[in-house]
Structure 1
């Protein structure tokens, strides 16, 4: 196991702090804000999540923060005895990626099946960000690649900072600034990003995205791109004649809009004071007010976190959400 990286030993470089979900109590619930099709949490989803469950001790916190395309290899963040450890595990082995002294120091984890990117900060009070890449095949030490949270796809990482939008070839260790803007996402092997309220790209942008008016939150799994637009979640993938509205919420003053979308295959998870999962095939969205059911998609898995419980289920094993 690699030595614990001491608080003072984490390299810090000034840069843009990655936006990360706010920690909330594990039994936090809120009424549904949906104005679009809402369905209940299917029983088979509960059953499948219960098959791969990690029970945490009273002084332990366990969260599944990444998964490969099949959902059979997961990245797990575990905090115990004031030490937080990021571990890649599957049925055969366990590989430590990094350890730090506080849970809030490690965030923004992404995984493309081989490469892991993640960010650290020197302390909970100092959110100066350093971003690393780690190769699961080599199992060596993480390598610093930048000073802002990254997304990763097919061996390339992308992020934005004061210099612009970066695309980093992880195997070749080469960084290239491709434009000015923020919120980069991969669409195929190309990178798109936001600039002046519009999508931009190095080459021609898909025509269907030219008139989109995305908000600050954008996500992609390489095939489908989703974004927030006012009080709605929109998405587009190749083969669709135009973008679609995937879900909508009621607008209310001083409350959270749609934030932190994540997309994988036909499912999109997102947050608005609690968690939601939308099935793009049926147009239905699942929202539960049950404690211990904070749900997100990561790679090929649906993950659950809650009070002393963490679990994941391959998306391929879940039934489609029914139409309303």
Structure 2
């Protein structure tokens, strides 16, 4: 399995972490639920994805699950023969992070360019979660840091559990609880989170977020924070006078809503029965019913999961999506 190589730079991401993985078929598609501007998958995006791709064998599944800020380093998850392996690919170098056997699940992979966090469960029926951190500059084994999925940014991990919101200094191996709540995300080097339907922060919360009413999903790349509210995807970044609606779906027929947003630079990926990518600049959202194009943003990469194919393209190389 060859390394995935990328060419350019973009802001790093600390994205939303699913509590448990959703394992959809590789060729899964669904009709668009968009109520806002929709565009097709550009041919130029397809061409970029085709340049750096990994072909999976007949009995294995390969997914690019994380990338650094320029997409030159990726983390790839491969499942074959009831064993799942997480491997770092760094400009031709291949290094195993962890392998789980006997249908163990490995998910929620996040990467800040040095530190990797991820979670495991014993099998699909047992949701007992263990979360690990691994230093890509060190040959040591992953270390357990908690029992719930974490986000990571500039050497710090954050997660929530029954004790509250944790901030963990990965180099110093020091954990502290900053308050009750859930869904922590990094905004700059500060952490914000949800409590009682509002944003909270350890320090000063930006004025523009004080009246926001986020739903259950929040993500940030350190500069831009996005969240869901009913059938809307909302976002805010420094310099905006107020939050903006980025995309929306039709309320009828009722679906799973907007879930699992991820943001990196000017792109937000999210799900609502199939995958979507929104360009913050134009307000356009990409949706395709072509099989084999399940798309997400991870760090500096747009990743593709398809039938026996995994691919990644640098976000900085992608053309903007056209306005409707």
Name the TM-score, length of structure 2 as normaliser: 0.93
Contact persistence 1:186–1:222 (CA under 8 A):
yes
Instruction: For 2:166 and 2:244, locate their aligned partners in 1 and report how far apart those are by CA, in whole Å.
Output: 28
Aligned to 2:191: 191
Q: Deviations along 1:90-146, whole A, 9 cap, x unmatched?
A: 223111000001565101100000000000112221111010000000021000000
Equivalence map 1:104-119=2 (5 Å): 105-119=105-119
Give distance in 2, aligned partners of 1:22 and 1:256: 13
Looking at structure 2, the residues matched to 146 and 111 of structure 1 have their Cα atoms a distance apart, in angstroms, of 17
CA gap of 1:18–1:128, structure 2 versus 1, over 3 A, is farther
From the superposition, tell whether residues 276 and 188 of structure 1 become closer, same or farther in structure 2 (CA, over 3 Å): same
- Structure of greater relative contact order (alpha carbons < 8 Å, 6+ residues apart): 2
- Equivalent residue runs for 1:225-240 within 5 Å: 225-240=225-240
In structure 1, stretches of 5+ residues that fail to align are 1-16
Whole-Å separation in 1 of the counterparts to 2:205 and 2:170: 24
Q: In the alignment, what sits opposite 2:280? A: 280
Change (3 A) 1:50 1:103: farther
Give the aligned partner of residue 171 of structure 1: 171
Give CA deviations for 1:195-229 in whole Å, capped at 9, x if unaligned: 00000001110000001000000000111100001
Residue 152 of structure 1: aligned partner: 152
* Pairwise CA RMSD: 1.2
Structure-1 separation of matches of 2:213 and 2:230: 9
Aligned to 1:63: 63
- The structural deviation recorded for 1:20 is 3.5
* Cα pair distance change 1:100/1:300, threshold 3 Å: same
Mapped contact 1:106–1:120 kept (Cα < 8 A): yes
State the partner residue of 2:14: none
1:94 counterpart residue number:
94
Aligned 8 A contact 2:70 2:314 in 1: yes
CA contact (8 A) 2:191 2:202 kept: yes
Q: Please state whether the residue corresponding to 2:113 is helix, strand or coil.
A: coil
Aligned partner of 1:82 in structure 2 is 82
Match of 1:268 in 2: 268
**For 1:198-237, what aligned pairs fall within 5 Å after superposition?**
198-237=198-237
What is the TM-score when the length of structure 1 is the normalising length?
A: 0.93
1:298 maps to which residue? Answer: 298
Counterpart-to-counterpart distance in 2, 1:130 and 1:20 = 12
- Secondary structure of 1:208's counterpart equals helix
Equivalent in the alignment of 1:140: 140
Instruction: Give me the whole-angstrom Cα distance separating, in 2, the residues matched to 1:228 and 1:104.
Output: 30
User: Structure 1 residues 274 and 102 mapped into 2: Cα distance closer, same or farther (>3 Å)?
Assistant: farther
Residue 253 of structure 1: CA displacement?
Answer: 4.7
Which stretches of structure 1, 4 residues or more, deviate above 3 A after TM superposition?
Answer: none
Q: Is the 8 A contact 1:102 1:124 kept in 2?
A: no
> In the alignment, is the contact (CA less than 8 A) between 1:34 and 1:250 conserved in 2?
yes
Asked whether the equivalents of residues 217 and 228 of structure 1 are also in contact (C-alpha less than 8 Å), the reply is yes
- The alpha-carbon deviation at position 29 of structure 1 amounts to 1.3
Residues 230-250 of structure 1, C-alpha deviations (whole Å, 9 max, x = no match): 100000011111101000000
Alignment of 1:6-45 (within 5 A): 19-45=19-45
Which sits farther off after the overlay, 57-66 or 251-260?
251-260
Structure 2's unaligned 5+ residue stretches are 1-16
Alpha-carbon separation, structure 2, partners of 1:230 and 1:194: 16
The 3-state SS of whatever aligns with 1:50 is helix
CA contact (8 A) 2:21 2:107 kept: no
Q: Deviations over 1:276-323 (max 9, x none)?
A: 000000000000001100000000000000110000000001000011
Alpha-carbon distance in structure 1 between the residues aligned to 2:290 and 2:59 = 22
